[in-house]
């Protein structure tokens, strides 16, 4: 190598260097560089000095880089990179490998990026393809398992909490009085935790899916989906919530990871099982969110938990009227399959025709949908039983089921504060434009926990 250095140095003197468009890690220094070195001595050192690969990986680690892609025929550097960083850290993506086609390798890498929450321009990716990709909703017939399960751990006991009585002024009250038409403002006194000290724990059981486990969280937000939906609806919500709030999606039987189980079609049976889960794993404050069918479930769950002296910090009910208000549409859960599907798609036209025409998919899809609609449409409401927690009633401005006039009926179901909030979109506004919804939830929980990020 040394005999050629003098000649190599002369060549470098005549080289015009174009600056890189991306920052890079130098093999010479092991640090990030923003400008490409133009000093010939640097490139001579590049030939002579050891490659500082481990220092470069540590530099990336300090910057929070979590996704590593190797562009090469063999995944050699990926193994070396793993050895430099903590065990189980990062996503490691080989792309071009000799034993598989380029298309297969790229699809596999993009799929791994997608489940990590990276936004993929699938339309652009398939633009030159002869195939016709079809966008599918998140439903139980998606039988592939994409989520990494948390290792089971037994929950620990809470070490205690300090309760402080505060005054809460409900300035968002939007209930229109039938007689006077006036808007009321209420001042109430409720107890909320101001300083919470809990032993960090992780929830891990069949019913609860935490896509980003956060044992240090001070509060958990439990979410229940609409009819036919699964826990993965809430897969990315944790990214837009406060850092000390853990997002926990309820995984109902019959869908996604529990697709082999029989779905439950009775509210009482389902909520009794959920009560057992909550009593087993409760170790810190929590809030409940449910959309459409999920709104009905979270109310019944909160009611039963209140009987056990365990109340949520907040109840967020979305896209559904209160239990004492009649359904907007006549019951159709018992119709024959063809009529059931036709009625369902007329009310909720979000299921692609390509799915409806696939007999195998519908065989998986129908039992869950029918069970969910049975649960929602056979629910028997006896009497109004107010909760001790505040209620937020949420809906889409274009949604007939979740209209303001129907959502306001939840006012009777709380002894605490109440407000209605409307968002752009229809019945599935939480999928179409979730940011405004999550901003409201985040700010509410921040105020409750008494911190600001």
DSSP conformational letter for 160: -
What whole-number distance in Å separates Cα of residue 382 and Cα of residue 388?
19
List CB contacts of 46: < 8 A, sequence separation 6 or more.
Answer: 27, 28
Cα R_g (the chain), whole angstroms: 27
Catalytic residue among 26, 292, 311, 416: 292
What whole-number distance in Å separates Cα of residue 127 and Cα of residue 133?
10
The reply to whether 292 belongs to the active site is yes
Q: Residue 426: which of 406, 396, 401 has the closest Cα?
A: 396
List CB contacts of 258: < 8 A, sequence separation 6 or more.
Answer: 206, 251, 252
| Helix (H) or strand (E) segment spanning residue 391 | strand 391-396
What whole-number distance in Å separates Cα of residue 16 and Cα of residue 308?
75
What whole-number distance in Å separates Cα of residue 248 and Cα of residue 285?
13
Q: Residue 367: which of 224, 265, 233, 271 has the closest Cα?
A: 265
Enumerate the active-site residues: 292
């Amino acid at each position: 190598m040394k005999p050629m250095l003098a000649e190599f140095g002369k060549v470098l003197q005549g080289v015009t260097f174009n600056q890189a468009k991306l920052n890079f890690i130098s093999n010479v220094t092991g640090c990030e560089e923003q400008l490409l070195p133009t000093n010939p001595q640097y490139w001579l050192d590049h030939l002579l000095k050891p490659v500082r690969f481990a220092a470069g990986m540590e530099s990336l680690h300090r910057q929070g880089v979590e996704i590593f892609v190797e562009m090469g025929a063999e995944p050699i550097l990926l193994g070396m990179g793993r050895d430099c960083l903590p065990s189980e850290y990062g996503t490691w993506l080989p792309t071009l490998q000799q034993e598989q086609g380029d298309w297969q390798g790229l699809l596999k890498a993009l799929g791994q990026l997608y489940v990590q929450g990276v936004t993929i321009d699938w339309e652009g990716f398939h633009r030159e393809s002869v195939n016709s990709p079809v966008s599918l909703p998140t439903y139980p017939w998606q039988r592939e398992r994409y989520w990494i399960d948390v290792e089971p751990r037994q929950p620990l006991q809470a070490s205690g909490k300090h309760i402080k009585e505060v005054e809460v002024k409900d300035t968002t009250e939007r209930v229109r009085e039938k007689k006077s038409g006036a808007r009321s403002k209420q001042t109430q006194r409720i107890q909320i935790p101001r300083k919470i000290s809990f032993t960090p724990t992780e929830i891990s059981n069949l019913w609860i899916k935490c896509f980003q486990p956060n044992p240090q969280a001070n509060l958990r937000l439990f979410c229940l989906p609409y009819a036919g939906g699964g826990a993965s609806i809430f897969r990315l919500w944790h990214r837009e919530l406060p850092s000390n709030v853990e997002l926990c999606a309820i995984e109902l039987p019959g869908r996604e990871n529990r697709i082999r189980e029989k779905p439950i079609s009775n509210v009482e049976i389902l909520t009794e099982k959920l009560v057992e889960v909550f009593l087993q794993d409760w170790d810190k404050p929590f809030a409940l969110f449910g959309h459409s069918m999920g709104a009905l479930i979270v109310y019944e769950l909160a009611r039963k938990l209140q009987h056990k002296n365990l109340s949520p910090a907040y109840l967020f009910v979305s896209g559904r009227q209160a239990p004492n208000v009649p359904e907007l549409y006549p019951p159709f859960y018992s119709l024959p399959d063809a009529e059931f599907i036709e009625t369902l798609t007329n009310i909720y036209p979000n299921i692609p025709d390509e799915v409806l025409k696939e007999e195998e998919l519908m065989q998986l899809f129908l039992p869950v949908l029918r069970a969910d609609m049975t649960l929602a449409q056979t629910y028997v409401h006896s009497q109004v039983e107010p909760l001790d927690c505040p209620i937020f009633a949420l809906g889409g401005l274009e949604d007939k089921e979740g209209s303001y006039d129907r959502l306001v009926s939840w006012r009777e179901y709380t002894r605490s504060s109440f407000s209605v909030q409307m968002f752009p979109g229809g019945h599935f506004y939480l999928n179409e434009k979730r940011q405004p919804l999550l901003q409201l939830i985040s700010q509410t929980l921040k105020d409750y926990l008494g911190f600001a990020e």
